[in-house]
């Protein structure tokens, strides 16, 4: 029998062949676990990516809808003329007397220009409330940035003075996209 030589041969075979194969198996198992974790991360990122694309699309649609509410025109002068026409129509429909209108210089606001118009008018309380409501709820995005109301004092009211006349000063701004047109 080769007792001692057989044992050495088996040990040598174990050290040279079987042990490296077992180590390789352990390395492959660890690498497989790492790749599985990495795959789960990539799958989660793909889900997040799809959610980001959906959110981006929704934001683009909302932006397009809101930009449809901006003043039209190729420059601030045309946009302010558009805003003046809106104000003229509103005041005429409400019977408000406009005493002065002044176009103020446009202000930059990121990718947009704020186009303000200063209006001084004489109106009743009901007309003023209606005017403010219609400006705030207009199809165009209009902002009232200043409002000053002066009500003259009346000591005694007669039957003809059911509603006192107010003098109102307001600044209405519309937005336009820079370089639109």
Residues 111 and 140 in one domain: yes
Residue 29 pLDDT class (50, 70, 90 cuts): confident
Residue 159 has pLDDT above 60, yes or no: no
Lowest pLDDT segment from 65-79, 90-104, 135-149, 158-172: 158-172
Count of structural domains, the chain: 2
Structure tokens at 103: 């176009």
Residues 170 and 101 in one domain: yes
* pLDDT one-digit tens code per residue, 67-76: 888 888 788 9
Domain finish residue from 67, 96, 119: 67
Residues 24 and 95 in one domain: no
Residues 84 and 164 in one domain: yes
Lowest pLDDT segment from 52-61, 137-146, 162-171: 162-171
Residues 40 and 19 in one domain: yes
Phi and psi at residue 56, to the nearest 5°: -65, -45
Measured in whole angstroms, the distance separating CA 170 from the mean position of its chain's CA atoms is 26
Q: Is pTM beyond 0.85 here?
A: no
How many other CB atoms are there within 10 angstroms of residue 18's CB atom?
A: 11
Q: Where are the alpha helices (DSSP H) in 14-117?
A: 19-67, 76-94
**Domain encompassing residue 138:** 76-177
| Rounded mean pLDDT, 117-137 | 94
Residues 1 and 4: their CA atoms lie apart, in Å, by 8
């Amino acid at each position: 029998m080769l007792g001692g030589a057989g044992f050495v041969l088996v040990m040598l075979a174990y050290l040279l062949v079987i042990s490296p194969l077992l180590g390789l198996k352990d390395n492959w198992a660890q690498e497989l676990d790492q790749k599985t974790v990495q795959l789960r991360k990539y799958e989660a990122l793909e889900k997040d990516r799809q959610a980001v694309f959906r959110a981006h699309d929704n934001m683009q649609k909302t932006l397009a809808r809101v930009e449809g509410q901006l003043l039209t025109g190729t420059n601030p002068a045309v946009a302010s003329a558009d805003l003046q026409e809106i104000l003229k129509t509103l005041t005429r429909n409400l019977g408000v007397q406009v005493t002065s209108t002044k176009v103020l210089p446009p202000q930059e606001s990121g990718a947009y220009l704020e186009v303000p118009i200063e209006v001084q008018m004489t109106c009743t309380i009901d007309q003023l409330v209606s005017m403010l409501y219609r400006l705030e709820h207009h199809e165009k995005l209009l902002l009232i940035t200043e409002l000053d109301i002066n009500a003259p004092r009346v000591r005694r009211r007669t039957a003809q003075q059911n509603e006192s006349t107010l003098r109102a000063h307001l600044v209405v701004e519309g937005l336009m996209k820079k370089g639109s047109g």
